[in-house]
Amino acid sequence: MAKMWAGRFKKEVDEKVNDFNSSISFDCVMYEQDIKGSIAHATMLGKQGIIPLEESELIVEGLMGILEDLHSGKLDFDMTAEDIHMFIEAELTARLGAAGKRLHTARSRNDQVALDIRMYLKDQTKEITALVKELCETLCDLASEHTETVMPGYTHLQRAQPVTFAHHLMAYVQMFLRDIGRLEDTYKRMNIMPLGSGALASTTYPIDRVMVSELLGFTEPTQNSLDGVSDRDFCIELASAIATLMMHLSRFSEEIILWCSWEFKFIELDDAYSTGSSIMPQKKNPDITELIRGKTGRTIGNLTTLLTMMKGLPLAYNKDMQEDKEAIFDSVNTAKLCISTFIPMLRTMRVLKDNMRKAAAKGFINATDCADYLVKKGMPFRDAYKITGGLVAYCIDQDKTLETLSLEEYQKASELFSEDVFTAISLDTCVKGRNVLGGPAPQMVKEQITIAREWLDEVK
């Protein structure tokens, strides 16, 4: 494609350099935003009398025609174009002649691209937020079925104290709710309109930036033209919010992988969401969750790419910044793909309640409660801790559990033990007793779910 900037050059650009320089293969996804931005710009140029009103109307019509033809597939991208901005302007000029050549008045590709990415990422941020919201709703639904499903809670991956499956799921809801908060916050700073910054020093034409900002649904125009074209904080913030979100999804995936193993067997994934082995007939593998765990690395890498790409750049625009798109688009696509696969996988998985309960019944998960029993009978906690530790050691030695010890054995350790110790250390008592705000007692988790659902209703 002929170069728009051909004026001061005596030679054609080398073909390899052309390919090297070109970004259309990845920035073509922003065609809709580019066209809508140009429509707002042309409308403003016409209204301000910077270009004749009739020509501005012709431009708007021409751009809508291009948008329609790209949507319908009647028009294809020209992969030899330098970028999506050049492609659309050239196509407009080919269709309209002279009027098309007026579109780029009082504008530079530097503020144009800054506008397009913001518009594109605003839409993507909304889509990701909606998916995380759906994920939280799915988890709340699942949790409300399992407020009485006792499972071991772990520290150091060692059985620690009993919780419920609902409580465990709701911990992830808290993480994802914070992710929604980060996405919403990122959106606010993304929603500022840079067009009118020009190449770097704005323009001498009497443009109306507030009008363009309003036409395109932004909060307000950016305040400094140098910053307007050279800011990519919104890409970095979004990449960071996505990396954190993916880190949460990866931790969840890791647990699902563990829970699917024969060693845990707490859940079984639906056949539609698992894969087999080409050699081992018995295998049913949680590939989805492994891939999510793996893909999290890319999103962390993309954040590093963006920070590294920006850290040495003098003001204002530098071509290095063209590298922003592949990194942030990859993060966005990865997050959407992972969450939208994860949700139906959760919805269809089978929860093996009995196995969870059996695992909670072993491993001295009620030892803290046994010590607390003595404390409630008047013993100082440290003494109670020591006596219970002795009982655990005795059980391990005798191949018993705290539930299977006889009252005589208990009373040998302390005279404060009586028959009610067995209720005090039963799994259900242990869980129900933790009925403080934030605890796993069924009533408390039901309240957690109600509050989470109220928060989710606020998410737009």
- Catalytic positions are 156, 277
The answer to the question of residue 104 lying near ligand ARG (CB under 6 A) is no
Distance from C-alpha of 130 to C-alpha of 183, rounded to nearest angstrom? 10
Q: Which is nearest to 195 in space by CA: 39, 10, 28?
A: 39
Q: How far is the CB of 35 from ligand ARG (least distance, A)?
A: 16
Q: How far is the CB of 438 from ligand ARG (least distance, A)?
A: 47
The conformation of residue 49, written as its DSSP 8-state character, comes to: T
The answer to the question of residue 366 lying near ligand ARG (CB under 6 A) is no
Which is closer to ligand ARG, CB of 22 or CB of 186? 22
- Interface residue with ligand ARG among 174, 275, 322, 341 (CB under 6 A) is 322
Which is closer to ligand ARG, CB of 103 or CB of 374? 103
Which is closer to ligand ARG, CB of 108 or CB of 244? 108
Which is closer to ligand ARG, CB of 107 or CB of 167? 107
Which is closer to ligand ARG, CB of 28 or CB of 370? 28
Cis preceding linkage at 316, omega within 30: yes
Q: How far is the CB of 322 from ligand ARG (least distance, A)?
A: 4
Whether the CB-CB separation of 21 and 39 falls below 8 Å is answered with no
Distance from C-alpha of 302 to C-alpha of 328, rounded to nearest angstrom? 7
Long-range contacts of 48-53 (CB under 8 A, 24+ apart): 48/205, 48/206, 48/207, 48/208, 50/105, 50/106, 50/205, 50/206, 50/207, 51/102, 51/105
Q: How far is the CB of 34 from ligand ARG (least distance, A)?
A: 10
Count of residues for the chain?
460
Question: Binding segment for ligand ARG among 11-19, 318-326, 367-375, 419-427 (CB under 6 A)?
Answer: 318-326
- Interface residue with ligand ARG among 90, 99, 241, 321 (CB under 6 A) is 321
Q: How far is the CB of 324 from ligand ARG (least distance, A)?
A: 7
Q: How many Å separate Cα 15 from the centre of its chain?
A: 39
- What are the CA-CA distances from residue 37 to residues 25, 63, 109, 167, 447 (Å)? 20, 10, 12, 47, 46
Q: How far is the CB of 46 from ligand ARG (least distance, A)?
A: 25
Question: Binding segment for ligand ARG among 148-156, 252-260, 319-327, 353-361 (CB under 6 A)?
Answer: 319-327
Which is closer to ligand ARG, CB of 38 or CB of 138? 38
Which is closer to ligand ARG, CB of 55 or CB of 324? 324
CA dihedral 117, 309, 6, 40 (to 10 degrees): 20
User: Which positions from 141 through 180 interact with ligand ARG, judged by CB under 6 A?
Assistant: none
Residue 439 identity: G
Alpha-carbon torsion 100, 105, 110, 113, what sign? negative
- Interface residue with ligand ARG among 38, 110, 186, 203 (CB under 6 A) is 110
The answer to the question of residue 83 lying near ligand ARG (CB under 6 A) is yes
Q: How far is the CB of 329 from ligand ARG (least distance, A)?
A: 12
Q: Build a one-symbol-per-residue string for 11-40: x at contacts with ligand ARG by CB under 6 A, - elsewhere.
A: ------------x---x-------------
Question: Binding segment for ligand ARG among 105-113, 126-134, 308-316, 357-365 (CB under 6 A)?
Answer: 105-113
Q: With CB under 6 A as the rule, give the number of residues binding ligand ARG.
A: 10
The answer to the question of residue 310 lying near ligand ARG (CB under 6 A) is no
Q: How far is the CB of 5 from ligand ARG (least distance, A)?
A: 9
Q: Where are the beta strands (DSSP E) in 95-164?
A: 150-155, 158-164
The answer to the question of residue 109 lying near ligand ARG (CB under 6 A) is yes
Which is closer to ligand ARG, CB of 23 or CB of 147? 23
Q: How far is the CB of 211 from ligand ARG (least distance, A)?
A: 24
Question: Binding segment for ligand ARG among 107-115, 208-216, 349-357, 365-373 (CB under 6 A)?
Answer: 107-115
Q: How many Å separate Cα 196 from the centre of its chain?
A: 32
- Interface residue with ligand ARG among 59, 90, 113, 292 (CB under 6 A) is 113
Distance from C-alpha of 402 to C-alpha of 410, rounded to nearest angstrom? 9
Using a 10 angstrom Cβ sphere, with 0-12 exposed, 13-18 middle and 19 or more buried, the burial of residue 453 is middle
CB contact burial 53-83 (16+ within 10 A = b; e otherwise)? eebbebbbebbebbbeebeeeebebeeebbb
Distance from C-alpha of 318 to C-alpha of 284, rounded to nearest angstrom? 50
Reduced DSSP (H G I as helix, E B as strand, rest coil) percent helix, strand, coil of the chain, to 5: 65, 5, 30
- Judged by the rule CB under 6 A, the positions of this chain that interact with ligand ARG are 23, 27, 83, 109-110, 113, 317, 319, 321-322
